[in-house]
Amino acid sequence: MIAYVPEHLREQTMRNLKNFRKFNTKNTDRFFHFKFWFLDDQNLAKTLKIETSDSAAGDVYIVRPSSQFNLTKPNCKLCDYDYSSSKILSSEDILRDASGSQAYAKILEHAFNSPIIVRDYMQFAVLNQKFKTNALVVYCDPDEDPAFYRKVLKTLVSARKALPINLIPDESGQLQKQQRHADVLLVLSTVRNLMPIAKLHEEGPQALFVTPEENIVNLFNSTLSHLEKVEGLTKDEYI
């Protein structure tokens, strides 16, 4: 996240962004990672498609490298690498949003609109407890079969692109019940310990569908095991 701050407006803009900066530098959510930078180089800002007029000072942009996790089309280059740059909040939005919840919601939209990779049980525990929503959790060990892991990841990315999420916290930063039931997080776990929800004891790829009520359906052992084809593909091809 980058805010352009020209030298002659530095003091006022820094003051306006104080709460936003404090909130995002103390973020403890381990399932997404953002850094917050101030930028005073006008040429670099223009390269990153960031507005440099005085009226736009303090506007916050999210700049991300082009990758399979970034579903936004690239619109700028930095050191010959493709990046996407888009404004998520104006300085006026930040001043009105004293609690930081609007900014947090904007960040979550970007974080959740790609598969979430879980590498330890605490990541999953925090994700599940903080955002009690539907989640399709696929377990796959990248060390066991790297090629299959990449195939699963690619499939989840395609699924998320086809079904973008719309999870937006309310003013208190919480998800309302209606929203929790309306969307599905896509989670790729490299560990079988998914406490406090479940601990997978079997070897090999498995899938769980977790609801806000913490009911679990093992799709691989139940529904999918009885299917011969899914959308014209064999089960292995579909997975």
| Domain map (residue ranges) of the chain | 2-112, 116-238
Which of these, 107, 108, 190, lies nearest to 156 by C-alpha position?
Answer: 190
Which of these, 237, 235, 185, lies nearest to 208 by C-alpha position?
Answer: 185
CA dist 128 → 115, 211, 232 (Å): 15, 10, 33
Name the average pLDDT for the chain: 79
Distance (Å, whole) CA 35 – CA 15: 19
pLDDT per position as a tens digit, 55-112: 999 999 999 898 877 778 899 998 999 999 999 888 888 888 766 677 777 777 777 7
Task: Dump the DSSP string for 179-227.
Answer: HHHH-EEEEEES-SEETTTEE--SSS-EEEEE-TT--EEETTTTTGGG-
Q: How confident is the model at residue 148 (pLDDT cuts 50, 70, 90)?
A: very high
What's the pLDDT score for residue 175?
A: 58
Question: Considering just the CA atoms, what is the radius of gyration of the chain in Å?
Answer: 20
Percent of the chain with pLDDT strictly greater than 90: 20
Q: How confident is the model at residue 49 (pLDDT cuts 50, 70, 90)?
A: very high
Kindly tell me the burial class for residue 177, based on how many C-beta atoms sit within 10 Å of its own C-beta (0-12, 13-18, 19 or more): exposed
What's the pLDDT score for residue 59?
A: 92
The residue with tokens 């010959």 is 80
Strand partners, 85: 63
The residue with tokens 């679990």 is 216
Question: Is the pLDDT score of 38 beyond 80?
Answer: yes
Task: Dump the DSSP string for 12-38.
Answer: HHHHHTHHHHHHHHS---TT-----EE
CATH topology of domain 116-238: Glutaredoxin (3.40.30)
Helix (H), strand (E) counts: the chain: 9, 14
> Is the bond leading into 146 cis (omega within 30 degrees of zero)?
no
Under 8 Å between Cβ of 107 and 88 = yes
Please give the residue that has the higher pLDDT: either 23 or 138: 138
What's the pLDDT score for residue 84?
A: 93
pLDDT per position as a tens digit, 181-201: 677 888 999 988 887 777 777
Q: Strand, helix or coil at 60?
A: strand
What's the pLDDT score for residue 82?
A: 95
User: Which H or E run contains 123?
Assistant: helix 121-130
Which of these, 2, 149, 118, lies nearest to 64 by C-alpha position?
Answer: 2
Interior CA angle at 50 toward 45 and 54, to 5°? 90
Strand pairing class (81-89; 76-78): antiparallel
